[in-house]
Amino acid sequence: MTLILNNDDVKQILTMKITMEALEKAYGALARGEAVCRPRIDIQIPTKNAEKIYQWGTMEGGSTSGYFAIRMKSDVIYEQEYQGAITQEKYCVQPGRFCGLILLTSIENGEPLALVNDGYLQHMRVGADSGIGAKFMAREDAEVVGMIGSGGMARSHVESFLLARKIKKIQVYSPTKANRDAYAKEVSEQFGLEVVPMSNPRDVYNGADIVAGCTDSAVPIVIGKWLEEGTHVTCVGGKPDDDTLKRIGVSLRLGNAPAPWGLAEFGLADEHITYAANPKENAGFEMKRAGERGHGVIAEDRAVFLPEILSGTKQGRTSAKQITYSERGNIQGAQFFAVAGKVYELAKERGLGKEIPTEWFLQDIRD
C-alpha cells in the first residue's frame, strides 16, 4: 500500500531535532558519494495574463539508505508591491491555495511508498538548514536573533536556532504591524522567549547576534551597513545586499550538487536552473531578470563547505568579531529523501495517513 500524508500528519511526527539530524546525515552521505541530487529546475510558461507566469518546479535526490524522492510544485507566480516592499506571490487554482507534493520511492524495488504534502516539511527543512549554519558559524554566546519576516519560515527558524544556541530574545520586523505583533505573541508564548516587534527594520540589527531574512521579498532585505560586528547571517527569502556580501568574513555552504556522471562541466553551483517558453514575447514579470542566474556560492573567495569543517581541513568562524554567513547550496533534492523518508517511517509506526493500493500506480505496459 502507498501512504498519503497531509500536513497535519507530518506536523504530528516531524520535530526540528529530527529534521536537523536527518539533514546532517544526508549531507554527510553526499560528501561520501553515497547520495546524489541535482539543483532545482523550474519550467516557466507565460500565461494569458502578462503579469503572471506558470512555474513547474522540481528537485530530487536519493541515497543508498534506501529512499529516492522528488518534490514537485505547480504555481502561478507574480510580483506585487506592499508598503514599499516588492514581494513574489504564488498560488495554485486560487490565491491562498498551493500544490506541492513529495513522491517517495524505494530504491530497492522502485515501489511508490508515499505521497506527502510539502508545506509543513518545507518550513522545517529550510529552518533546519539555518539552524545547522548557526550551529557551526554563530558565536557560542549568541543570544539575540534579529528576525526579518513573520511568516512560517520565521517560526521554524526559531526552533532551529534554539537547538543551535541558547537564544533568549528575538527582535522581529515585518511591514504589517498586525503580523509582527501576532508573531511576537505566538512565539513568546510557545517558546518562553522575549519577542519584541519592531516598527523600523533598522532596529532589528541592534544587538543582534544572528540576523535571519525570512521573507518572500523580491529585493535585498539584509542590509550590510546595519550589521554589527560578530553577527551571523542567514537569508532564505530575498537576498543580502552588496554591503553584506562585502562584510562577510567567512561563508559556510552546506554543499554542492554533484556534476552529472562524465560531464564535469555541468557541475554548476546555481541554486536553481530555469527553462522558459518564449520569454521575449512575455512583456510581464519574469522570476529571473534578463541575464541573471540562480546565485552560486555566496562570497566564494571566503567560502568553506560543511564537509571541510567536519573533516577539520578548514575552519569556520575564527574571530568573535567576524561577520559570518551560511547557506544551503543547491542540494535541496537531498533534503526530501532524507526528511520525507524519516516522516514515512514514523507515520508507519504510528498508523498515520491514508493508504491507497500501490497497484494503482503500476501497469503491465513497459515504459
State the Cα–Cα distance between residues 158 and 170, nearest whole angstrom: 9
Orientation angle between helical segments 16-31 and 332-350, nearest 10 degrees:
130
Domains in the chain: ranges and CATH = 2-121+332-361 (3.30.1780.10), 137-255+292-329 (3.40.50.720)
Is 81's pLDDT higher than 90?
no
Q: Residue 157 is inside which H or E element, if any?
A: helix 152-164
Q: Which of 282 and 150 is assigned the larger pLDDT?
A: 150
Q: Is the dihedral of CA 262, 265, 271, 274 positive or negative?
A: negative
> Do 282 and 46 form a contact (C-beta atoms < 8 A)?
yes
Decide the pairing of beta strands 354-356 and 239-240: unpaired
Q: What is the pLDDT of residues 18-31, one digit of tens each?
A: 999 999 999 999 99
Report pTM.
0.90
Between the alpha carbon of residue 164 and those of residues 130, 131, 209, 307, 346, the distances in Å are: 9, 6, 13, 18, 24
Give residue 84's pLDDT: 64
- Identify the H or E element spanning 112: strand 112-117
Report the mean per-residue pLDDT for the chain: 92
Q: What percent of the chain has pLDDT over 90?
A: 81
Give the H/E segment covering residue 168.
none
Residue 364 has pLDDT above 60, yes or no: yes
- How do residues 220-246 score in pLDDT, each as one tens digit? 889 999 999 999 999 997 789 999 999
- Write down the pLDDT at residue 297: 85
What's the pLDDT at 342? 98
Cell, residue 278: 518564449
83 φψ region: left (φ > 0), alpha (ψ -120 to 50), beta (else): left
Q: What is the pLDDT of residues 328-362, one digit of tens each?
A: 999 999 999 999 999 999 999 999 999 999 999 99
- Secondary structure (3-state) at 336: helix
